[in-house]
Structure 1
Amino acid sequence: METVSPPRTWSYALHLPHDPQAPRIARMTSRAVLPAYGMAELADVAELLTSELVTNAYRHSAGPAALRLHGTDDPYGLRVSVWDSNPHIPAPFDKPPCRSGSLGAVPHEADSGRGLGLVAQWAQAWGGHPLGDDLFGRGGKLLWFELRAPEQV
């Protein structure tokens, strides 16, 4: 009997309305997809970081968002991208794509600003770039991060 293995690269896309439930739906999607591709060990971190990007999209744009989970050529690699309609790229994603590293601490009294710092700290690579207007006049931005299974880092 022949065994069928998952393809090395795969992609799932989810369109999210501007809805406070969008981060929860994105977390559940991430949690469901990763074990199917042998990436269960990435699920906790991927779920947290995905939630941070989708929450950022919900809080800072007035329109829909889109989530894309993509297996990379590295069989243990994952790229997560979140599109939203606001073209402003927040720090630290407004810099060229970066490899993991620590950022300055968010002031203790700050009400927000920790989520994208978590992404920058926990992801192996991350970045963002503005998108020009598409056929539907949406433009916006794309923020992304990459993870690899611990033994592959």
Structure 2
Amino acid sequence: MTLPAIRSYRLTAPNAPDTPRLARDHVAYVLLGNRLLGLADTARLLVSEVVTNVYEHTATSVVAVETTIRPGQVLVAVHDASPRGIPPRRALPEGEEECGRGLSLVELLARSWGVTQLGYPEPVGKSVWFELRDA
């Protein structure tokens, strides 16, 4: 059986404390099932960071994670219904601080990433996305 060249998977979950874990496990299983084992650990980390940002910085009730697979490539987009944008990347925190590293990790480990406002003319949400490529 030949797999289609482009496949998309979507997880919709409540914006809750356990959602980052559920989202990262979902994306890892999708990648493993599509023979992209080499991207699974990085994808798990980045999904966890982005979904945690939704939980900690928005009041939206639902978060959706869309994973699009192309040959040798994965695009993950985390959608929420908060029009508030993501703050610009800050310098890494010093010392043992636990907060403030998420988007820096995304920038460091992803081939590309960005934020897309959803809705026109007034934003009704956003999508934080990142792309990984298989070496």
Regarding TM over 0.5, the answer is yes
Q: CA deviation at 1:50?
A: 0.7
Whether the 8 Å CA contact 1:81–1:143 is kept in 2: the answer is yes
CA distance in 2, matches of 1:85, 1:107: 32
2:100 matched to 1:146? no
2:119 maps to amino acid = G
Aligned equivalent of 1:122: 109
Contact 1:68 1:81 in 2 (8 A): yes
Deviating beyond 2 angstroms after TM superposition, the runs of 4 or more aligned structure 1 residues are: 103-111
Instruction: For residue 88 of structure 1, report the CA deviation from its aligned partner.
Output: 2.1
**How many residues end up aligned between the 2 structures?**
134
Deviation sequence 1:49-104 (CA, Å, 0-9, x none)? 011111111111112111000013xx1000000011222222347xxxxxxxxx74
When normalised by structure 2's length, the TM-score is 0.88
- How far apart, in 1, do the equivalents of 2:84 and 2:92 lie? 22
Query: Mapping of 1:86-105 within 5 angstroms?
Result: 86-92=82-88, 104-105=91-92
Aligned amino acid, residue 31 of structure 1 = A
**Contact in 1 for aligned 2:92/2:100 (Cα 8 Å):** no
User: Percentage identity across aligned positions?
Assistant: 39
Cα distance in 2 between the residues matched to 1:126 and 1:115: 13
Structure 1 unpaired stretches of 5+? 94-102
Q: Are the structure 2 counterparts of residues 149 and 85 from structure 1 closer, same or farther at C-alpha, using a change threshold of 3 Å?
A: same
1:20 aligned partner, one-letter code: P
Conservation of the 8 A alpha-carbon contact between 1:85 and 1:138 = no
- Give the Cα–Cα distance (whole angstroms) in 2 for the partners of residues 39 and 120 of structure 1: 21
User: Out of 93, 100, 106, which is 1:113 matched to?
Assistant: 100
The question of 1:26 aligning with 2:11 is answered no
CA RMSD of aligned residues (A): 2.2
Q: Give the structure with higher Rg (CA).
A: 1
TM-score after normalising by structure 1? 0.79
- In structure 2, runs of 5+ residues without a counterpart are none
Find 1:71's aligned residue among 69, 72, 83.
69
Which residue is 2:53 aligned to? 56
Deviation track 1:88-121 (CA, whole Å, cap 9, x = no partner) reads 222347xxxxxxxxx7433437552101110110
2:7 corresponds, among 10, 13, 21, to 10
Relative to structure 1, the CA distance from residue 80 to residue 124 in structure 2 (aligned partners, 3 Å threshold; closer, same or farther) is same
